[in-house]
Structure 1
Amino acid sequence: MGVQMVVLFQILLLLCSIDAITGTTSCEERCGNVSIPYPFGIGAAGCYVDDWYEVICNYSSGSPKPFLRSLNLEVLNISFGSTLSRTRNTVGVNYPTVSACGSNSNTIHNVELSKSPFIFSQSENIFMAMGCNNWASIISLGGSVFGCRTCPFGCKACDAININDTTIATPLCQTTIASDLVLSNTNTEPVIVPDQPTIGCRSAFLVEEKWFKAAYNVRLFSNMSSVVSYHVPVVLEWGVLDTSFYSVLNNIATYNSSNYTCIPMSNRNSTFSCSCDGGYEGNPYILGGCQDINECEQYSNPCSRYNSSYGNVKCENHIGYYLCRTVYPPKPPVRAATIGVSSSLGLLVLLVGGWWSYKVIKKRRMMKQKNKFFKRNGGLLLRQQLSSSEVNVDTTKLFNSKDLEKATDHFNINRILGQGGQGTVYKGMLTDGRIVAVKKSKVIDEAKLEEFINEVVILSQINHRNVVKLIGCCLETEVPLLVYEYIPNGTLSQYVNGQTEEFPLTWDMRLRIATEVAGALFYLHSGASSPIYHRDIKSTNILLDEKYRAKVADFGTSRSITIDQTHLTTLVHGTFGYLDPEYFQSSQFTEKSDVYSFGVVLAELLTGEKAISSTRTQESRSLATYFIQSVEENNLFNVLDSRVLKECKKEEIIVVANLAKRCLYLNGKKRPTMKEVAKELEAVQVLQKTHTLLQDYKELEYAQAEMHESWDVVPSSTMSTSSVDAQPLLPFQYA
């Protein structure tokens, strides 16, 4: 009896655990008009996978409203993505705007998502600014800065715009958001324009693009004379943290069942996003949650378009897919011999004709698909850019997609070298044995297309030993592919900030790397056929090859200008900590903006500190500010990297530190050019070699003096009587 009770108790425990996994516990499934599916939940702890997904039903406003307890944001909807349509799991939330009036500025510190399973959706949200002479910006946790300015030529020249047949009287501007946006400090401030008083109100906000551009909501914003505190819909993408759900699906990172798939979220390797496969729909986060779609009923017989005079086409639903079968009308009776001969001849003709038709149709489809991808991936734009610029296209190869799939083992995850906002980089080997880095871009929209084509055109113009070389590209695939030379030793940031302790950088290597980067930037500014501004110089964009030589990389935001141009007026783009303050204020990027970013890298090489660090005081979080204060307060030698302090001569440190300080001047006109920077660093290298040679000479002279002294004390009985015979024993003769 006792054994039976124990077995029964274990069965009950098992059933309870199954209920927890399948989400069949007695939990509330709705709050007001919003459905709350698992892994989200209301009520007891078993109703949601962990605290990030707990939803509270708030009745304080009368009607019930769901709130994410962890983020204190109202939930508008929760949806699941689809593998077939490439949509992602999303949750819509009500999000606050930031506003200010008159000459006031305002900043709000939004929710932080860095440790959560949520990120702001780059594809579904936009960043908006409203109001005359409004400079609005966002600084993300990763350091990216982006924003836009309304009425860049003043409100007198700021015309009304039309969206969905609705005239918008209030000045607007918009821009896309960064792919790694997990914390947004949103800021709005007035732009002082001569002869125009700062009046009216301004606002800035993230918003769901489809919602904002809907006819009703456009009218809502169209004639706002003042801006007050407001909330707008924003879309968050979500997955499940591995610490919470990993054990439930048994290694969810590589788990592929017959009806759903789970993969790591982009830029969030510890968070997994699950979606039902093609032919299924439902909730992939509960066992049996992905159910077969009956396409024959749901899509009103999708096979009807194949009906012909030969017969009707019938739709047959199967688990995960459907088939279209032709139902032929009955034939009149004929002789068996006639049927046999006719059938054989007909079958032969059908097979031959079918095979030939298949080959022709397949070839045409492939050509059409390649042309479609070529156009969608900017092939026409690239062709136009190449024909209108002095580009050496002979050195840039157009690769076949099959060759690159073979080179990367079909883009195996074990070949991944790194991931970024613009795509994933894989290590590969070409058929000729060359090791390369293949960059597989993300599915890019029209806003990102220009950056991709720009990088191809810029790199095609550059031929410098300290700039990463573009070997070729492939535009006939679903997403663009770029092929670079393989740089094996990672980024400069890994070594300077102590992430690679097994190979610390010596002072000689740091000085050489700084000189090489300065020389590359001097070439871009002055040596290329058209001057090129890099616009994103930082230690993570400086790669080190097998001999630890510097290679400047990532030209996605670079711009080529005419020789007579002095600056570019663009939306602010860059990395916080390296961004030129003058460019941030004026939106005008000059060659001195690259100089400022290089000055931060030089400070990193001297101190070993990061460009932005939360371990320093609030006013010294920026390395540029921290470094300049240390120099001005004669505290330089207390902030230097210990290896630099140990190996470097004091006069060399002072020269390089003063050069870095000049590069970091707030006034860009006072900064040196990259030509001057490169020459001064080369001079320090020459001085260093001169000191080394002089030291070796002194040591040699000292050794020779000792030999003379020892020669003088040798007893005369041991010496040869002939001075001529003794002469060859002396290594050198001195006057």
Structure 2
Amino acid sequence: MSGCISFCGNSSGLVNGSCSGLGCCHSAIPENTTNYNLNVQSIYTNGSGRTSGQSCGLGFIGETQAYNFSTLDFTNLTKRETVPLVLDWAVGNKTCKDAQKSMTSYLCKAANSSCSEPHGRGYICKCPPGYQGNPYLSDEHKDSCQDIDECKDLDRNPCNATATCTNTIGNYTCICPNGYEGDGRMPPGTGCSRKGQSKIMIIALGVCISLLILLVGSSLVYWVMQRRKLKKLKQKFFKQNGGLILERQLLNHKESVEPAKIFSAKELEKATNNYHKSRVLGQGGFGTVYKGVLPNGRVVTIKKSNVVDQSQIEQFINEMVVLTKIKHKNVVKLLGCCLETKVPLLVYEFITNGTLFEHIHDKNLSSLLSWEKRLKVALETAEALSYIHFETSMSIIHRDVKTTNILLDENYTAKISDFGASRLVPLDHTRLTTVVQGTLGYLDPEYFHTSQLTGKSDVYSFGVVIAELLTGEKALSMDRPESERNLAMYFVTAIKEDRLLQIIDDRILKEGNTEEIKEVANIAKKCLKVRGEDRPSMKQVTKELEGLRLSEKHSLKKVDPNTQQTEQLPNAPTHSLGIDVDIGTSSINTVVADDNMRNQVVKPTDNDAR
């Protein structure tokens, strides 16, 4: 049984051509059904919940595609022509095998007819391929299954144009003319081709297949050789970059809580999406810095150096080992390196909040960098420099202290980064003679003239950082007047001429303590002494900043911008602004040198841990 139901209560929903239940519905007749009984019943609801048998419907059996519903059919359907009905039929209800047992009732009379059971019940008879006619008639009848002469059908000639078609009983042949060979049939046959041509085609096909195999084989061999070559190259770089030395050093330094990891080149390529440009965090004279994501989800910073001095590889490895042992909250942690590339790659922890340079010189960010935060950043940077100068197993001179190498996390905690220019100082030395290296504007003038590198060189650079924090100006800018281009010279000159408060960032003056600002400026002035021996050590600088920070935390009242006075606790230390300027003309001219000197001054030539 099958059926459907349609609703006719709302004529506005009726759609011409749609017989899906509104005004019209249809149901398929199950297969293998031998007889039909159509029943149409109309159910009318009179509003009380009871139904009435009043009939208002019309049903019929017909071929689905032959009827297209129209809203007009409600009035004139009975006047339409009849809808055609398509029937599948078969002989009896026996299978072919059972029917053939009784030759008298078996109806496939033609000798070459075939029997099939297409509907699962009964059978039908068919003429075989190459014959046409009525398979239910015996061979004596002219309309029985008769051979088809394919060659007479000129419109659908089954043979090639050069072949001769010959009809056979139930089939046909195509004969190629002299000088030709093949089956003569149209595709999918081979047709007719000149003798020998097929051999040429076979040879050509064989050659093509051979060449394809040779090409694939050569590509496979080339790929294998390239992989081996790449593997050997990685091994060469690994040894060349001191990988064996580093492995030995790491085994000898098992006391590290988290020893440095030696990453593979493939790991870092995957972490940086093959060093895609969207992963670049910054570029400088020493290399490019990328953001990477390791398989465990940890975000890291990957530094790819431009060049490395192969003669100083052992020194580089020693620095690697020392840097991995640095455990200080204000130093960016070195996690490991990759030595399988031409120049080593260094992997650091990722700091989320950008560089101090951005926070000072970006208008949107600088407004968030309060005086308290600036003093905190200065103290933490000093603590980190003091730590690497005095508290590591071998003293480390950073040699490139600047605001772009001081990173800030989400809590504005300062972290020194980029030890690419740093040098280790042996225990029995206080200074090193090196090729001058650093960044103009931050470069120690004494170091520039003498090539004698000491911890006081970092002190000078730190003084420039403090000057940047106080003034909001860049360390070196060609956009300023000539006398103000070098911030260190301009800052010290302003103190000498008692113009300090004129060059201090307005935002700091509005919220900061004037006396504290002067004290911090005085510390910067001492750091910017031309002679290194006149500068304080980073340990002394740290103590002075600690005292100021403690004083700032215990202040009862912040500065009044109108009176520029401050009220302090009775026992809080007080400081006076001492003016002690010691800067020579030759030193000034050296530091203010234009950017054309960068190629000579900044170019790295010695061992640099990038």
Q: What is the TM-score when the length of structure 1 is the normalising length?
A: 0.43
Pair member with larger Rg: 2
1:573 match: secondary structure: coil
Could you list the per-position Cα deviations for residues 678-701 of structure 1 after superposition, in whole angstroms to 9, with x for gaps in the alignment? 111111111111115999xx9xxx
Contact 1:452–1:556 (8 Å) recurs in 2: no
Instruction: State the partner residue of 2:446.
Output: 582
Worse-superposed segment, 388-397 or 610-619 = 388-397
In structure 2, distance between residues paired with 1:531 and 1:419: 28
Instruction: State the partner residue of 1:645.
Output: 509
Instruction: State the partner residue of 1:603.
Output: 467
Could you list the per-position Cα deviations for residues 437-464 of structure 1 after superposition, in whole angstroms to 9, with x for gaps in the alignment? 1223336563786786565344223221
Does residue 523 in structure 1 map to residue 387 in structure 2?
A: yes
In structure 1, distance between residues paired with 2:356 and 2:511: 19
Contact 1:401–1:476 (8 Å) recurs in 2: yes
Does residue 559 in structure 1 map to residue 427 in structure 2?
A: no
> Measured at CA, do residues 628 and 402 of structure 1 come closer, stay the same or move farther in structure 2, by a change above 3 Å?
same
> Measured at CA, do residues 666 and 363 of structure 1 come closer, stay the same or move farther in structure 2, by a change above 3 Å?
closer
5 Å matches for 1:59-208? none
- Which one-letter code corresponds to 2:404 in the other structure? T
In structure 1, distance between residues paired with 2:343 and 2:405: 23
Instruction: State the partner residue of 1:510.
Output: 374
Contact 1:428–1:436 (8 Å) recurs in 2: yes
5 Å matches for 1:419-568? 419-442=283-306, 444=308, 446=310, 453=317, 456-498=320-362, 500-501=364-365, 504-568=368-432
5 Å matches for 1:654-665? 654-665=518-529
How far did 1:515 drift?
0.3
Instruction: State the partner residue of 2:541.
Output: 677
How far did 1:638 drift?
0.5
2:509 match: secondary structure: helix
How far did 1:631 drift?
0.9
In structure 1, distance between residues paired with 2:314 and 2:364: 35
- Which one-letter code corresponds to 2:326 in the other structure? I
2:520 match: secondary structure: helix
Instruction: State the partner residue of 1:625.
Output: 489
Instruction: State the partner residue of 2:96.
Output: none
Contact 1:455–1:556 (8 Å) recurs in 2: no
Contact 2:494–2:500 (8 Å) recurs in 1: yes
Instruction: State the partner residue of 1:636.
Output: 500
> Measured at CA, do residues 584 and 451 of structure 1 come closer, stay the same or move farther in structure 2, by a change above 3 Å?
same
2:357 match: secondary structure: helix
How far did 1:362 drift?
8.5
- Which one-letter code corresponds to 1:649 in the other structure? N
Contact 1:370–1:476 (8 Å) recurs in 2: yes
> Measured at CA, do residues 577 and 635 of structure 1 come closer, stay the same or move farther in structure 2, by a change above 3 Å?
same
5 Å matches for 1:39-58? none
In structure 2, distance between residues paired with 1:384 and 1:632: 55
> Measured at CA, do residues 450 and 620 of structure 1 come closer, stay the same or move farther in structure 2, by a change above 3 Å?
farther
Q: What is the TM-score when the length of structure 2 is the normalising length?
A: 0.51
Contact 2:360–2:366 (8 Å) recurs in 1: no
1:505 match: secondary structure: coil
> Measured at CA, do residues 674 and 511 of structure 1 come closer, stay the same or move farther in structure 2, by a change above 3 Å?
same
In structure 2, distance between residues paired with 1:367 and 1:393: 31
Given the alignment, which residue of 458, 468, 484 partners 1:594?
A: 458
- Which one-letter code corresponds to 1:463 in the other structure? K
1:532 match: secondary structure: strand
Contact 2:513–2:558 (8 Å) recurs in 1: no
How far did 1:361 drift?
7.7
How far did 1:554 drift?
1.2
Contact 2:319–2:424 (8 Å) recurs in 1: no
Contact 2:394–2:425 (8 Å) recurs in 1: yes
1:421 match: secondary structure: coil
1:691 match: secondary structure: coil
> Measured at CA, do residues 462 and 500 of structure 1 come closer, stay the same or move farther in structure 2, by a change above 3 Å?
farther
Instruction: State the partner residue of 1:687.
Output: 551
Aligned residues: 345
> Measured at CA, do residues 658 and 447 of structure 1 come closer, stay the same or move farther in structure 2, by a change above 3 Å?
same
Instruction: State the partner residue of 2:434.
Output: 570
How far did 1:389 drift?
8.5
1:489 match: secondary structure: coil
CA RMSD of aligned residues (A): 3.4
Given the alignment, which residue of 376, 382, 400 partners 2:264?
A: 400
In structure 2, distance between residues paired with 1:567 and 1:494: 33
Identity %: 54
Give the gaps of 5 or more residues in structure 1: 1-353, 699-735
> Measured at CA, do residues 413 and 691 of structure 1 come closer, stay the same or move farther in structure 2, by a change above 3 Å?
same
Could you list the per-position Cα deviations for residues 357-382 of structure 1 after superposition, in whole angstroms to 9, with x for gaps in the alignment? 99998886565333112123342454
Contact 1:492–1:540 (8 Å) recurs in 2: yes
Contact 2:512–2:558 (8 Å) recurs in 1: no
- Which one-letter code corresponds to 1:579 in the other structure? L
In structure 1, distance between residues paired with 2:256 and 2:485: 43
> Measured at CA, do residues 432 and 670 of structure 1 come closer, stay the same or move farther in structure 2, by a change above 3 Å?
same
In structure 1, distance between residues paired with 2:307 and 2:555: 55
- Which one-letter code corresponds to 1:643 in the other structure? R
In structure 2, distance between residues paired with 1:620 and 1:360: 62
Contact 1:662–1:671 (8 Å) recurs in 2: yes
Contact 2:378–2:466 (8 Å) recurs in 1: yes
- Which one-letter code corresponds to 1:577 in the other structure? G
2:438 match: secondary structure: strand
How far did 1:614 drift?
2.3
- Which one-letter code corresponds to 2:292 in the other structure? G
How far did 1:578 drift?
1.1
> Measured at CA, do residues 662 and 455 of structure 1 come closer, stay the same or move farther in structure 2, by a change above 3 Å?
same
1:424 match: secondary structure: strand
How far did 1:600 drift?
0.7
How far did 1:545 drift?
1.6
Could you list the per-position Cα deviations for residues 328-362 of structure 1 after superposition, in whole angstroms to 9, with x for gaps in the alignment? xxxxxxxxxxxxxxxxxxxxxxxxxx9x9999988
Contact 2:241–2:310 (8 Å) recurs in 1: no
> Measured at CA, do residues 573 and 365 of structure 1 come closer, stay the same or move farther in structure 2, by a change above 3 Å?
closer
In structure 2, distance between residues paired with 1:657 and 1:362: 60
- Which one-letter code corresponds to 2:491 in the other structure? F
In structure 2, distance between residues paired with 1:386 and 1:590: 28
In structure 2, distance between residues paired with 1:532 and 1:445: 19
Q: Larger % of strand: which?
A: 1
In structure 2, distance between residues paired with 1:582 and 1:613: 21
